[in-house]
Amino acid sequence: MTLRRLIVLLALVAAIVGAQSASAANSPNMRLDYSLLDPTSGRTDSDIAFWGNIGVAGNYDGFRIFNTQTRQQLVSFLCRGPQNDVSLWEHDGRLLLFMSVDQPQINGLTVCSQVRSSDTTVTDPNGFEGIRIFDITDPTAPVYLKGIRTNCGSHTNTLVPDLANNRVLIYSTTASTSGGPYCQIPHNRIPIVGVPLNAPEKASVIAEPHVIPTLRGCHDITVFLEINKAAASCESEGQLWDITDPANPGTATPLMRIDPPGVVVNYWHSAAFTWDGQYVVFDDESFTNTCQPSGDGKIHIFRVSDGALMSSFMIPRPQTSYCSVHNGNIIPVAGRYLFVAGWYYGGTSVVDFTNPAQPQEVAYYDFTPTSGQSWSSYWYNGRIYSNDMNRGVDVFNMLTPYLPYGQQWTHLNAQTQEDLYIPSLTALGQLRPAKR
């Protein structure tokens, strides 16, 4: 390489690094590997799921499919349906995608609209909201198979394998405040969609169990199949349910109702169990906080056995815009409890709560408020994938002093924890707190 070319190359690298540092703040142990930016103006990108090397990133206009190995987008499929929360399941080589629609769509039961003007109201008898099923076996050519109307729509969904009956169940959650011909208020029910794996086109609502208290239901549910428990984030409290019979979850008689006095929670949003089943992290979605320790929008760590509050935690980086934990999961790494999540304008953060009473942030990547607003950040097979409301998909590498960095998975639906992973009590290594 000539000196002239070397100088040009160094200048180019400096420009790239400078551009990145000008638009983001990050801890030294967290780097951005690559991005699949969403170029559509005004679009809201939402949740994300994986099967093998296939990633599906939902957005209010549809979904994008990408390959995690080639780092390429395979398709951007338009099918209007806010918020298009996603789950995946493969059966006999057929890959199915399940999506939640909680904004009624004109004739959306049978039609995938490509325009936002298809949004209608709950009073429209032709409006559809609920669960949509797609066949994405060919990820470049998705096929819309079936729409299942669920009362009050579907804000989020949780996939529950019921392989003994050759089906999967979809717990559809909503916290609707607006009544209509398909929504009676208060909507204190959890519609369960049964999907025969050999004939997903025959999917239907098989049950609508009540939840207590008799309010508007729940926002999100995380199931842990190995311990037969579900953590439900309901309107005014967290709950633990028995799901030994997954088609009949113990919603009316919860194993535990969690709402400790003195804990300020704006909105019980989502949850994640540690992989040994000992603790559960409930996330509080705030609409007002700016990452102030005295405010809401924190994570709250509880002991599963008795519901005892171990600690609450807010990331220590104040923002100019609001900041709140949103969607995340727990990294299955030996000897540690590591929780990764999107914090809206707070970016993507990794919190070490190996000592549940003293959580600390150990890594982060935070874009500027004008460009970044992380909806979901999940660990999957050695990388952290964020679906940012404004940017699209960002993929991070967290540098650790030990290998392997977590157990390998064949797939990820973040709200579906399947197998216990009880790591050695001897840590393979320890992360240092993030430098700010």
Tell me whether residue 340 is in a domain. Answer: yes
Q: 364 and 217 share a domain?
A: no
Q: 232 and 278 share a domain?
A: no
pLDDT tens by residue, 320-379: 888 999 999 999 988 889 999 999 999 999 999 999 999 999 999 999 877 789 999 999
Look at the chain and report how many structural domains it folds into. Answer: 2
Q: What pLDDT is recorded for position 215?
A: 65
Q: What pLDDT is recorded for position 435?
A: 52
Q: 264 and 349 share a domain?
A: yes
Q: What pLDDT is recorded for position 335?
A: 84
Q: 368 and 395 share a domain?
A: yes
Q: What pLDDT is recorded for position 400?
A: 79
Phi-psi region of 127 (alpha: psi -120 to 50; beta: other; left: phi over 0): beta
Q: What pLDDT is recorded for position 262?
A: 87
Q: What pLDDT is recorded for position 402?
A: 59
Tell me whether residue 16 is in a domain. Answer: no
* Residues making up the chain, counted from first to last: 436
DSSP string, 148-181: EE-TT--SEEEEEEEGGGTEEEEEEE------BT
Q: 220 and 293 share a domain?
A: no
| b/e per residue 127-159 (b: at least 16 CB within 10 A) | bbbbbbbbbbeebeebebebbbbbbbbbbbbbb
Q: 236 and 280 share a domain?
A: no
Contact residues for 277 (Cβ-Cβ < 8 A; gap 6+): 224, 226, 227, 229, 304, 420
Q: 430 and 300 share a domain?
A: yes
Q: 235 and 266 share a domain?
A: no
Give the pairing type, strands 416-417 and 218-224: parallel
The ranges of the chain with pLDDT < 70 are 1-22, 175-177, 214-215, 401-404, 423-436
Tell me whether residue 21 is in a domain. Answer: no
Residue 262 DSSP code: T
Q: What pLDDT is recorded for position 24?
A: 85
Tell me whether residue 200 is in a domain. Answer: yes
Q: 104 and 200 share a domain?
A: yes
Beta strands in 214-278 (DSSP E): 218-224, 229-234, 238-242, 256-258, 268-273
Tell me whether residue 267 is in a domain. Answer: yes
**Count of C-beta atoms within a 10 Å radius of residue 278:** 14
Tell me whether residue 57 is in a domain. Answer: no
- Domain that includes residue 387, residue range: 29-43+260-436
Q: What angle do CA 409, 360, 298 make, to 5 degrees?
A: 85
Q: Are 133 and 143 in contact (CB under 8 A)?
A: no
The encoded tokens of residue 117 equal: 């003007």
